[in-house]
Amino acid sequence: MLVLTRKLGESITIGDEIKVTIIDCQGKQIKLGIVAPKHVKVHREEIFEKIQEENKKAAKVSKEALMEAAQKLKRNEKPSDKINNDTSYS
């Protein structure tokens, strides 16, 4: 881990596109300003951990649940033969 000391208003640069600036400091709490491209995701650590946890839960879907969902999709998406083959007009 790289440890840097910065004063209020000073910044650090990460790579060519990310800049972190010390905006405010009150007691044990600091405010950071982060400039990064839109494709770079920036989260507080506790939020990032929750996102990772939810992603892991979503990846653990059972085979049975996937098969059931696929069957439901097939039933709902398949157009009836009568509609596709009926070319007569009354």
Locate the domains of the chain by residue range: 7-40, 43-75
Q: Is the pLDDT of residue 85 over 90?
A: no
User: Per-residue pLDDT tens for 23-80?
Assistant: 999 999 999 999 999 999 999 999 999 999 998 888 887 888 888 888 888 887 544 4
> Distance between CA 82 and CA 32 in Å, rounded?
63
Q: How many CA atoms lie within 13 A of 62 on its CB side?
A: 3
